[in-house]
Structures are given as structure tokens and as C-alpha cells.
Structure 1
Amino acid sequence: MGQHKISSERLLIERFSPARMAPYQATAGSPRAAIKLYRWNAEASAVVYEALHVFEVVLRNAVHDQMDQWHRAQGRQGSWLTHPPAELTPRSKTELQQARKRARNRLAEKHQLTGVSAPPPVPTDGDIVAQLTLGFWRFMLATRYTHDLWRDAVRYAFPHLPHQRLPDVEAPVIRLHQLRNRIAHLEPIYTRNLSLDFEDMKLVLGFVCPRTQAWFASTRTQSVRDVVQAFPLAGAPGPQQVVGRP
């Protein structure tokens, strides 16, 4: 009662919050165009996140496999996930501890639903790996590990990396971690060159396994291309025309 009638676009901007929509309005120039851009951003995020899903799973499994082999070759107790090497930073050790806790809690919740009185199962390495974030694996590729973990274990996760140079794989993974965080926090990605981001994913996957890279490209290229070409603002540079990398 007493409220002024407003357009659907302005209503949506109020619902999404003016602060969140401000960048979209500044880029698009009008409330209607801003809503179109916001919708496109959500759709593009879904497509890119699906590709990132494959990238992240392949990356984490490749690094985990080599760390596991190195840990066992050293004759060390347990798993590198439960008995982390001294070379890991305190931050990474804390993240491992938190991942183990989340894995235990998840298994306990599932076990409780069964009604069985026996203790819940102990988390496997796979359970723990599934609870680790892309940020954890990104920091496993930090240059601080060049002369220990990279040299002794992690580099073997990328058998097709030319010259085995850590910065050559670290840089694209950093960019993709930033992209994933933007999507996870529902932030704009139209300011990025999504085609270059997709090339980063293919590049890293190729370092791991060219056959996996080929499958990834054959199943994801068209969807990424389609969403880039569907950019709704004819008068503004689209995500494929953004110059350079973030």
C-alpha cells in the first residue's frame, strides 16, 4: 500500500541488490540490458563451472597419485593425507586436517542413516581428496616447493609438461583458481576472456594426459563457444574480446 509501481527490471535489481547489480548496469547501460547480462553471466558460469569440474578432478587425482607413490616409496607411515610430509606449509597441513574432519563427519552422517550400531567407516584417501578445495591443489604447485615436493613427486603428475618447469603449470592453475572463486561467489565473469580460460584448462590437462585433453576438448568446446557467442550486449566487448588475461 502506497508503493509506486516499478518495472520488472527494476524490481529484479532490487531483489538481486543494487550493489550487486551496479557493475552490470554500468556495463550494460540500462536496467533491462543489465538483467540480460546478469542472466547470461549465470548461464556462462554454469557452463564454465562444468568444465572446471573436469579440470579440477583430473588435476587433484594426478597430484594425489604422485604424492601417494612418493610417500610410499619413502617408507613413511600411513598416507601423505593422514601423515603429511614436513615439507608442506602449516596452511596446507591445516587444510588436510579440516578435510579429514569433513570426510569423517560426512561418513558418520551417512552411517547414522543406516541405523547400524557399529562404528562408522574410516575415511579413505578418496574420501579425503574429495573434501579438498582447488585452492589446496593450487598451493601444492607453489614455487616454494620447486626444490623438494615438485622435484621429488609433483612434477611426475605432468609427464607431458615441456622442460618440467613448475611456473608453466602454476600460472594457468592460479588463473583458473581465481576464475573458480569468482563463479563460486556468484561474481561477474564477463570481464574475463573465457576462451583463454578454456585454453588454460586444456593446457593443464594436456600436461597430465593428452588423451584426456582430447576427450575434454571434444565434449566441452562447443558449449563454451556457444555461451561466449551468446553474449547479449552487441555494443560492448564480449568475453572473447577481452584483451589478455586477468
Structure 2
Amino acid sequence: MGQQKISSEQLLIARFSPSRMAPYLAAAGSPREAVKLYRWNVEASAALYEALHIFEVVLRNAIHEQMTQWHQAQGRPGTWLTHPPDELTSRSKEDLAKARSRARDALAQKPRQPGAATSPSLTDGDIVAQLTLGFWRFMLASRYTHDLWHDAIRYAFPELRQQRLSDVEGPVVRLHWLRNRVAHLEPVFVRNLHLDLKDMKTVLGYICPRTQAWFASTRTQSIKDVASTLPRIRP
């Protein structure tokens, strides 16, 4: 029995799934334009992910450094990652426990170095690498960690002149939402990429202006380039 011939765009929409492509069809108006918009979304997500990669690593290291110093100054055992302070919420403690478990599993799967008598020990870096941006976002929520902000976390942002938590929390919340969209391969074409880039540069500037300058010099153009090629979409 013969098959009805369909266009390349219709075939791609079927392969990507009609439900996934529905927002693109609604915004673009035709299968051909929907595929163009989908391709643009892939390119935009790639540019954003590269920038978010740098942003997330710098943010988590800055907070981790200050939490480590605070924990040591308190004379507490272990580290704040292995012996979470009571000031953390139960949710944050659960996230840390899961991160430690994932880190141990990842370490156990690594091949032992030739000549090594024992397997490598779990480090704070191993645990930090397993924590999501959502964990760090909630570390900046005043309703959860108000005391820790004043005692430790605010020092991760030395260039934040008025030391208002909301000035950091706002952009990090927006970027956490963006990262989830990108990570789950969702549409980002309705976003203003210039504002997303501004949020990243703002927070990085609070942490370290020199790092912010390097970030801007390496990531700004790629995001501006992809933003400038956004296909026409319906209002």
C-alpha cells in the first residue's frame, strides 16, 4: 500500500512530535517556518547553555568558599557539605545528602589509578559538582537562609554595595528557570536573551568584576548573534 508523500518539514514535525512542535507552529504559522524557529531555538539554547555553564560554576564556587570559611570559623566538625549546619532548611540538607550519595557513586565508578593502594577519597569538590543550580538558588532565598546570608553568603558578593539579598536572588531565580528550560529542551524564543545575558553579567559582577569582564568578552557576542537571527514570530 502506497504512502502519502509529505514534505520534509512535516516529516520533521512528526519526528520531533506534534505536541513538542505545537508552540513553534503557533508562533511561526507554517511547518516550514516552525522548523526554522525550532532550529533557531536549538542554536539559542546552545549559546545560553555555554553562558549558564560559566555562570553556575562561578556562583556555586563563590558561595561554597564563603560557607566553608564560615563553617571553619565556627569550629564545626568536617565541612558544611558533610556536616550541614542547622541553619540550613531540611530541603537543603536532603539535597546535600543526595549529592554526597551521587558523588560517592561517581567516585566508585572511576578506574583506580595504576599503583594506587586505595581508591581516592571523596572531596568537597566532588559534592559541589553534584549540586544543582536549584540548590544554590535556594541558598539565596531569604525565607530559608536569612541568618546565613548575613553571616556568610553575602561575602560571596563583595561588589554588591547595599548587600540586599533581593538584588542577587531576583536574577538567580530567573536564570534558574531559564536553565531548566534549556536543560529540558523547551522553547526559549519568547525570552529576551539580552536580559538573560544582563542577569548573568550582573550577578558575576557582584562576585568578581574581572571574571565578569572575561565572561562578557567570551559569551556576549554569541548570544547577541543568535538573538539577532530570531525568525519572525506571531505576536
The interval holding the TM-score normalised by the smaller chain is over 0.9
Q: Distance in 2 between matches of 1:158 and 1:117?
A: 40
* Unaligned 5+ runs, structure 1: 238-246
Shift, 1:14, TM fit: 0.4
Instruction: Describe the superposition over 1:113-172 as per-residue Cα deviations: whole angstroms up to 9, x where unpaired.
Output: x58785422210011101100000000000124641000000000000121000110000
Q: Which residue of 2 is the match for residue 103 of structure 1?
A: 103
The amino acid across from 2:185 in the alignment is L
Distance, in Å, in 1 between the alignment partners of 2:211 and 2:75 is 31
Q: Residue 115 and residue 5 in structure 1: after superposition, are their counterparts in 2 closer, same or farther (change >3 A)?
A: farther
Asked if residue 162 in structure 1 is aligned to residue 161 in structure 2, the reply is yes
1:14 paired residue number? 14
Structure 2 counterparts to residues 71-110 of structure 1, below 5 A: 71-110=71-110
Answer yes or no: is the 8 Å Cα contact 1:158–1:207 preserved in 2. yes
| Contact 1:146–1:166 (CA under 8 A) maintained in structure 2 | no
Aligned mates of 1:91, 1:61 — CA distance in 2: 20
Per-residue CA deviation, residues 13-47 of structure 1 (Å, 9 max, x unaligned), is 00000000000000000000000000000000000
Are residues 1:51 and 2:51 paired?
yes
**CA contact 1:169–1:204 (8 Å) conserved in 2:** yes
SS at match of 2:111: helix
User: Is the aligned partner of 1:172 residue 2:175?
Assistant: no
Q: How does 1:163-202 map to 2 (within 5 A)?
A: 163-202=162-201
- The alpha-carbon distance between structure 1 residues 196 and 90, as it changes in their structure 2 partners (threshold 3 A), is same
Amino acid at match of 1:174: V
* Alpha carbons of structure 1 residues 5 and 132: separation in structure 2 relative to 1, 3 Å: same
Between the aligned partners of 2:157 and 2:29, the Cα distance in structure 1 is 45
Structure 2 counterpart of 1:61, one-letter code: N
Identity fraction in percent: 71
- Counterpart in the other structure of 1:150: 149
Backbone CA RMSD of aligned residues: 1.5
Is 2:28–2:37's contact at 8 Å kept on the other side of the alignment?
yes
In structure 1, give the amino acid aligned to 2:165.
L
Shift of 1:236: 4.5
> Which one-letter code corresponds to 1:165 in the other structure?
R
2:87 and 2:147 in contact (8 A); partners too: yes
Please give the alpha-carbon distance, in whole angstroms, between the structure 2 residues aligned to 1:145 and 1:67.
15
Partners of 2:192 and 2:234 lie apart in 1 by 13
SS at match of 1:111: coil
Output the CA distance in 1 between the equivalents of 2:212 and 2:145: 25
- How far, CA to CA, are the matches of 1:102 and 1:120 in structure 2? 16
Separation of aligned partners in 2, 1:147 and 1:37: 43
TM-fit CA distance, 1:230: 1.1
TM superposition shift of 1:227? 0.3
The residue number in structure 2 matching 1:5 is 5
The aligned counterpart of 1:66 is 66
Q: What does 1:216-231 correspond to in 2, within 5 Å?
A: 216-231=215-230
Counterpart of 1:240 in structure 2 is: none
Structure 1 residues 5 and 20 mapped into 2: Cα distance closer, same or farther (>3 Å)? same
Secondary structure at the counterpart of residue 80 of structure 2: coil
Q: CA deviation at 1:232?
A: 2.0
Q: Which has the higher contact order (CA 8 A, sep 6+)?
A: 2
TM-score, length basis structure 2: 0.96
In 1, the alpha carbon distance for the partners of 2:145 and 2:56 equals 21
Corresponding residue for residue 39 of structure 1: 39
> TM-score, normalising length from structure 1?
0.92
CA 1:168–1:6: 2 relative to 1, 3 Å:
same
Find the aligned partners of 2:40 and 2:146 in 1 and give their Cα distance.
44
Partners of 2:209 and 2:45 lie apart in 1 by 26
